Amino acid sequence: MRKILVTNVLFVACSFFATAQKKADTVVIKVGESSKVIFAIQDKKDLETLKHYNFQSLMTDMIAKLEKRDSTQMAQPSSVYLKDTVTEATTSGSQIESVEEWPSEEDRRRYRESSRGRSYNDRDRSNNYVSFRSRNRSGRRTYSSFNIDLGTNNFLEGGKFPADANSVYTVRPWGSWYVGLNSIQRTRIASKLFLEWGGGVSWYNFKFQNDKTLLTKDDTQAYFSFDTRDFDFKKSKLTVVYVNFSMVPVIDFGGNSKKPGLFSGRMSRGFRMGLGPYVGYRIDSYTKQVYVQNGDEKVERHHDPYYLNNIRYGARLQFGFRGTDLFFNYDLNDLFVKDKAPQLNAFTFGITL
Q: Same domain, yes or no, for 341 and 315?
A: yes
Residue 58's pLDDT is 72
- What's the pLDDT tens digit per position in 73-130? 665 666 666 665 443 334 344 333 333 334 555 555 665 666 555 544 544 554 555 5
Residue 267's pLDDT is 63
Domain ranges, residue 90:
2-137
More confident residue, 269 or 119: 269
Q: Same domain, yes or no, for 116 and 150?
A: no
Provide the terminal-to-terminal Cα distance of the chain, rounded to the nearest Å. 65
**Span 53-75, average pLDDT:** 71
More confident residue, 279 or 113: 279
**Span 19-43, average pLDDT:** 69
Is 206 exposed, middle or buried (CB count within 10 Å of its CB: 0-12, 13-18, 19+)?
Answer: buried
Q: Same domain, yes or no, for 182 and 68?
A: no
Q: What share of the chain has pLDDT > 90, as a percent?
A: 52
Q: Same domain, yes or no, for 207 and 222?
A: yes
3-class DSSP state of 122: helix
Provide the residue type at 183 as one letter: S
Given a cut of 60, whether residue 16 has pLDDT beyond it is: no
Number of separate domains in the chain: 2
3-class DSSP state of 234: strand
Residue 96's pLDDT is 36
What distance in Å separates the CA atoms of residue 167 and residue 68, rounded to the nearest whole number? 90
3-state secondary structure 85-118: CCCCCCCCCCCCCCHHHCCCHHHHHHHHHHHCCC
Residue 10's pLDDT is 44
Q: Rank 64-73, 147-156, 264-273 by mean pLDDT and report only the highest.
A: 147-156
Q: Same domain, yes or no, for 125 and 213?
A: no
Residue 90's pLDDT is 40
β-bridge mates for residue 249, sequence order: 195
What distance in Å separates the CA atoms of residue 197 and residue 49, rounded to the nearest whole number? 41
User: Domain boundary residue among 137, 161, 188?
Assistant: 137
Q: Same domain, yes or no, for 193 and 320?
A: yes
3-class DSSP state of 230: coil
- What's the pLDDT tens digit per position in 161-172? 999 989 999 999
Contact 137, 100 (CB under 8 A): no
Q: Same domain, yes or no, for 177 and 35?
A: no
More confident residue, 245 or 6: 245
More confident residue, 75 or 193: 193
Q: Same domain, yes or no, for 132 and 242?
A: no
Q: Same domain, yes or no, for 32 and 96?
A: yes
Provide the residue type at 155 as one letter: F
User: Domain boundary residue among 78, 109, 137?
Assistant: 137
- What's the pLDDT tens digit per position in 130-179? 555 544 444 458 999 999 999 999 999 999 999 998 999 999 999 999 99
Given a cut of 50, whether residue 322 has pLDDT beyond it is: yes
Given a cut of 80, whether residue 208 has pLDDT beyond it is: yes
User: Domain boundary residue among 85, 102, 137?
Assistant: 137
Can you spell out the DSSP letters for 136-184? HHT---EEEEEEEEEEEEEEEBTTB-GGGGT-TTPBPSTT-EEEEEEEE
Residue 83's pLDDT is 60
Is 158 exposed, middle or buried (CB count within 10 Å of its CB: 0-12, 13-18, 19+)?
Answer: exposed
Mean pLDDT over the full length of the chain? 80
Q: Same domain, yes or no, for 186 and 120?
A: no
Provide the residue type at 351 as one letter: I
As a whole number of Å, the CA-based R_g of the chain is: 33
More confident residue, 64 or 20: 64
Residue 92's pLDDT is 41
Contact 206, 157 (CB under 8 A): no
- What's the pLDDT tens digit per position in 217-243? 999 999 999 999 999 999 999 999 999
Residue 113's pLDDT is 61
Q: Same domain, yes or no, for 167 and 238?
A: yes
Q: Same domain, yes or no, for 232 and 286?
A: yes
